[in-house]
C-alpha cells in the first residue's frame, strides 16, 4: 500500500512539474505490478493528456480538434492513447529486463554445441 501511495505521489509531482513522460514511465512500471488499479489508469490518462497538450501547443490547439466530437469518442480516444503510451513505455523497458528473447539456434550448432 505504501508503494502505491509513493508511486502516485511521485507521478503527481511529475505532472505538476510539467514532466508527463516521467509520469507515464512511472505509472507504466506500476501497472506491471498492479494492472487492475483504476487510479493508475486514471493517472496514466492524465499524463497522456498533459503530454498531448504540450504537443498541441507546438502544432495546433487541442480544443479545435475536439470541437464537434462526442464525449464518448473523446474518452475512448484518451483511453487508447493511454494504452499506446503504456505499450511504448513497456517496450522500452523490455531490453533492460532479465527476460531474454528466444532466437533460433545457429545451423552450425547441435544442441547448443559445435558439431
SS (H, E, C) 52-99: HHHHHHHHCCHHHHHCCCCHHHHHHHHHHHHHHHHHHHHHHHHHHCCC
CA max distance for the chain: 68
**Predicted pLDDT of residue 61:** 52
**Predicted pLDDT of residue 91:** 85
pTM here is: 0.65
Boundaries of domain holding 109:
2-114
Rounded CA-CA distance 32/39 in Å is 14
CA distances from 25 to 54, 78, 109 (A): 17, 17, 40
Cα radius of gyration rounded to whole Å, the chain: 19
Count of the separate structural domains present in the chain? 1
Give me the tens of pLDDT residue by residue for the chain, a chain 115 residues long.
Answer: 788 889 889 999 999 999 999 999 999 989 888 889 999 999 999 999 888 887 765 555 555 555 567 878 888 888 899 999 989 888 887 776 665 555 555 555 555 555 5
Amino acid at each position: 500500500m505504501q508503494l502505491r501511495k509513493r508511486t502516485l505521489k511521485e507521478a503527481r509531482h511529475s505532472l505538476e512539474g510539467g514532466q508527463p513522460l516521467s509520469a507515464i514511465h512511472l505509472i507504466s512500471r506500476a501497472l506491471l505490478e498492479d494492472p487492475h488499479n483504476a487510479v493508475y489508469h486514471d493517472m496514466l490518462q492524465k499524463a497522456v493528456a498533459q503530454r498531448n497538450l504540450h504537443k498541441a501547443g507546438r502544432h495546433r490547439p487541442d480544443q479545435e480538434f475536439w470541437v464537434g466530437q462526442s464525449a464518448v469518442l473523446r474518452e475512448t480516444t484518451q483511453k487508447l492513447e493511454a494504452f499506446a503510451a503504456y505499450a511504448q513505455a513497456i517496450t522500452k523497458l523490455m531490453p533492460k529486463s532479465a527476460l531474454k528473447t528466444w532466437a533460433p539456434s545457429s545451423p552450425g550448432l547441435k544442441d547448443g554445441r559445435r558439431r
